[in-house]
Amino acid sequence: MKLTAGGALLARLKAVGVDYIFANSGTDFPPIIEGLAEASAKDLDLPEALVMPHEAAAMGMAHGYYLATGKAQAVMAHTNVGLANCAIGAINAAAEQVPILLFSGRTPTTEQGRLGSRTVPIGWGQEMRDQTALVREACKWDYELRFPEQVPAIVDRAYAVANSTPPGPVYVSLPRETLCEAVAYPDLAAPPSVAPAKAAVDPAALAYAIDLLAKAERPLIVAQRGCGSAAGFELLAEIAEDWAIPVVQYWAIQLAIASDHPMSAGMNPSPYIEEADVILVIDCLAPWSPEIHKPRDDARIIHLGRDPLYGRFPVRHFASHVSLVSDVADGLAALANGLGPYRKEANARIAARRPIISARVKETRAQVIDGARAGAGAPMTKDYVSLCLSEALGERDAAVLSELGCPLAPLTLSHANSWYQEPHSGGLGWAFPAALGMSLANRDRLVVATMGDGSYIFSNGPACHQIAEALDLPVLILVLNNSEWGAVRQSVLGIYPDGFAAKANSMPLTSLKPTPDFTKIAEASRAWTALVSDGEELPQVLARAIEHIETKRTHALVEIRIRP
């Protein structure tokens, strides 16, 4: 079939498994838009192209959709300016090993004489010497499409590289003249010609790790990015319970173990890390703070993950005496199978440590819940908001995303894929669009985005609310408003606890006063809204917001005034 390169690109994306194209179009998009219409007219199967009013929302939605489905999606942006708006999302995706197929137009190379040549002044104004430099460091692979006949091969390679271990974003720039060219494509619906490369655990390293764990007196597990799948989640729970190994979720990005599991040891690695003789680190960029937490000198440390050494980060030195490269769920299955024969011999050690750990876990959990309840008032604490949200969710199948919003510790979550925290790369504005992407994947699941007021401002609220209304995505947004950059304040206090800034009446460069009335922003897109200042009112307001979402099926925003 003879087709323009723009149309062929879209059809090939569907063939490799892309469901959606999150697109913010521009003057470089005529061949893409024409390609959509052309491919549709020729009855080619295409991804659904969604209009994104801002590129940051497009990247966040692709990120969230992958978290919900495990399927990489495509983002298309407008030349260099659109790509610049994608950069933060690419940084976030790279840090969290999220595959995204990122495309942007490229200013036409020719000034005249070809279909697609420059026609308006921005054709000159948007040209760059190295457009890809905007995202190159965050991408695993990049390319500029040179010829229309390359389309199937380039799409296949992009998808395979993005999904290979460890996954991450890739980038292709699309010159307008190339997209306008039409050639014959043999079979755009053919299966992918390149398969992603998946890593498997080295048998010798696995055997050593199993021996260390089985013979440990005080083993510890530190997890940060979940367990890879629901099956992995169940496996970790079984290993921790059967072997009486505490699991600490330090700065957790995804939930690895249920909050109320008898071996769920909270967020703080101490005192476990100072006592442990063997530590299993599961997919952690920074499993502890070297300034604060000090493993024993003789402790043996095992790292398990798709990139256990996090090689793309120049400075990261955590001891790794055994490095296990694999998908986390597969690695946990291998560990569980290998530990089985050692169980009887380890019974005495397990029986000795179980009551100690169980008592600590219960005490830690009780302190967290009691502390959260004490945070009611006007204004209330973040921990109290978390506790109220947990009680409001009850037994629902829900996903909670937190971007400097609700803390994990007071929540009671028992299912895989129920907790997501902002990427450690710190590109703010992530939670709201990521929640939209998760809701797009499953509108029947309650998705809650919790954000600080600064994070909500970064999310470009008007754009995200417009998307929620346009696509009928019934998400719940909680804006925890303390009228400041709370994370910045805490960082200053951590380094200068008795400094001048700590003693100042108003800490410099942290205040966001006066904050807008965030409910008005949401109301502009017909969202259900509420403003809560008194903690006593919060449970009832959350119940009404959830009832609205479940009955009216439109999104809701609750602004919650919290303590600095």
Per-residue pLDDT tens over the stretch 130-169: 999 999 999 999 999 999 999 999 999 999 999 999 999 9
CATH code, domain carrying 257: 3.40.50.1220
Question: Where does a domain end: 155, 184, 213?
Answer: 184
Note whether 397 and 354 are same-domain residues: no
pLDDT, the chain, mean: 95
How much is the pLDDT for 342?
96
Note whether 418 and 544 are same-domain residues: yes
pTM recorded for the entire structure: 0.96
Question: Where does a domain end: 311, 330, 361?
Answer: 361
How much is the pLDDT for 183?
93
Range of the structural domain that residue 17 is part of: 2-184
Extract the tokens encoding 48. Answer: 């659904």
On the CB side of 212, how many CA atoms lie within 13 Å of its CA? 25
Position 505 pLDDT exceeds 80: no
CATH code, domain carrying 474: 3.40.50.970
Provide the domain count of the chain. 3
How much is the pLDDT for 2?
87
How much is the pLDDT for 224?
98
**Residues 451 and 479: beta-carbon distance below 8 Å:** yes
Note whether 349 and 469 are same-domain residues: no
Question: Where does a domain end: 132, 151, 184?
Answer: 184
Give the neighbor-by-neighbor strand order of the sheet with 300-305: 247-248, 219-223, 278-282, 300-305, 322-325
- 472 sits in the region (left: phi over 0; alpha: psi -120 to 50; else beta) called left
How much is the pLDDT for 557?
98
**Residues 304 and 280: beta-carbon distance below 8 Å:** yes
Extract the tokens encoding 509. Answer: 């460069």
Position 199 pLDDT exceeds 90: yes
Note whether 279 and 414 are same-domain residues: no
- What ranges in 191-311 are assigned the alpha helix state H? 203-215, 230-243, 272-275
Q: Which of 531, 420, 422, 521 is nearest to 468 (CA)?
A: 521
For residue 438, tell me if it sits in a domain: yes
SS3 labels along 126-141: CCCCCHHHHCHHHCCC
Note whether 116 and 44 are same-domain residues: yes
For residue 195, tell me if it sits in a domain: no
Mean pLDDT of 292-319: 96
Q: Which residues of 90-125 are buried (b: 16+ CB within 10 A; e: fewer)?
A: bbbbbbbbbbbbbbbbbbbeeeeeeebebeeebbee
Note whether 303 and 211 are same-domain residues: yes
**How does residue 28 score in pLDDT terms, banded at 50, 70 and 90?**
confident
DSSP state of 149: G
Position 34 pLDDT exceeds 90: no
How much is the pLDDT for 419?
98
Contacts (Cβ under 8 Å, ≥6 apart) of 317 = none
More confident residue, 539 or 31: 539
Mean pLDDT of 113-135: 90
Position 423 pLDDT exceeds 80: yes
d(CA 392, CA 395) in angstroms, rounded, equals: 9
How much is the pLDDT for 327?
96
